[in-house]
Every structure is written in C-alpha cells, then in structure tokens.
Amino acid sequence: MNAQPDYSNHPRDPLSGDPLDPTTHDATHPAADASSRYPDDVPQETGDKSYDTIDAAYASAADRADDPESRDEAMIRMRHEVEQSRQRVLIAQAELENFRKRTRKDYEEQLRFAAMPLVEDLLLVRDNLARAIDAAAAASGATDGLRAGVEMVVKQFDDAMAKHGISPINSVGVPFDPNLHQAISQMPSQQHPDGVVAIEATTGFTMHGRVIRPSQVVVSTGGGQV
C-alpha cells in the first residue's frame, strides 16, 4: 500500500481554517483592519474648502442685494437692455412695413401695365387709321365723308385708351426730349427754332406715365440749312 503524504508540518493557508476564529487571520490578509491603510487623522480639506467657497458666494450676493448702489446699477442696466430690445423691435416693424409697401407697389405696377403688349398691338391699328385719314385728305372731295368717319373711329379709339391711362405724346412745337421722342431726321424750319420738333411722323403714347413707345419726329434745325 502506498504511504499517504504528511502535510502536518506545512504552513497553514491563512484563508483556510475557521472563518469565525480570529486567530486564523493576520494583518497581511486583504481583509485586515482598514484603519491601518486609512488613518482617521487624514484631513478632509477639499470638502471644507468647497463649503467655504459656497458660503462666501452667498454672502457676497447677499451683500450686493443689500447695497442700494448695486440695486440701482442693476436697475439701470435692465432698463438699458429693455430700451435696446424695444428699439430692435421698432426697427424690425419698420422694415416689415417697408417690405409690405414695396410688395404692394410692385403688385400694383404689374397690374397696371399687364395690358401693355395688347396696347402696343392696338396702336398699330390706330396708325393705319391715321394714315387712312391722311390719304383721304390728299384725295378729292368725294372722300370727305369717309375721312370724317375714320376720324370719328380714331377719336373713339383714343377716348377708350384714355380710360385706361393711355395718352398720346404731344410732340410738334415742343423741344426735343430723348425720353419721349425718337428723331428720324432733321430739317430747317422758319416756324420752329433749333431743337424743336417740327413734324411728327408717328404718334407716341404713354401708359400711366410710362412711355409705351416714343414719338417718331423730325427735329428743326432753325432757319438755316441742314
């Protein structure tokens, strides 16, 4: 039979033994007295300083609240901030109102001149009627009745256009204006001084004060030669 080993002389494992027997545990065990590693005499300065800082802040705030000058300064500062905010609101309201006015004006302008392409086409018809009148005037007296009828049609046309803000440009006898007139030629004239419109070849028109087309005119050079 094999002999059993004798462990009686081996050192005892400090973790073995009766856990209720304090003699089986020594100071080298991890569960040893924590007081050896965390002595009570270590000062806890961090927490004390934090409380002191908070107390000092409260005390300073209380002193400022009790100080009449501090209250006055705070009131002045708040009034200044309120006034600045009020001014910003007023500026924003003014900008919004200006934007509304510009938008309304642009919309009205678009409505007023929406029919301009149609008017330009109708003016070509009027031009032909005016030419018919001139041709009848150059013919014999037999066309007087026709001429009178065409003149009535042209007048009716002009009256209808005037109801919609469309007016002819007066040209003959007025100084040449490049905003209203288009010079197609020049000629000497005893009746009109230099720079004055002597003949209107095609009548120009405006719509609500805006030029639809300029008058085509012949400009006088005065009594001399061209």
How much is the pLDDT for 38?
47
Q: Examine the pLDDT at 169 and tell me if it is beyond 80.
A: yes
How much is the pLDDT for 8?
52
Q: Examine the pLDDT at 13 and tell me if it is beyond 80.
A: no
Query: H or E segment at 154?
Result: helix 144-162
Q: Would you say 215 and 204 are in contact if contact means Cβ atoms under 8 Å apart?
A: yes
Q: How does pLDDT run across 30-74, given as a tens digit for each residue?
A: 444 444 454 455 455 555 555 567 666 666 665 655 566 677 888
> Chain-wide mean pLDDT for the chain?
77
How much is the pLDDT for 145?
78
Q: 113, 126, 217: which is closest to 170 by C-alpha?
A: 217
Alpha helix ranges (H) inside 67-114: 68-112
Tokens of 88: 């910003």
Query: H or E segment at 199?
Result: strand 197-202
Q: What percentage of the chain exceeds 90 in pLDDT?
A: 33
| Stated pTM of the model | 0.52
Tokens of 79: 């009034």
How much is the pLDDT for 27?
45
How much is the pLDDT for 129?
87
Q: 205, 226, 204, 207: which is closest to 217 by C-alpha?
A: 204
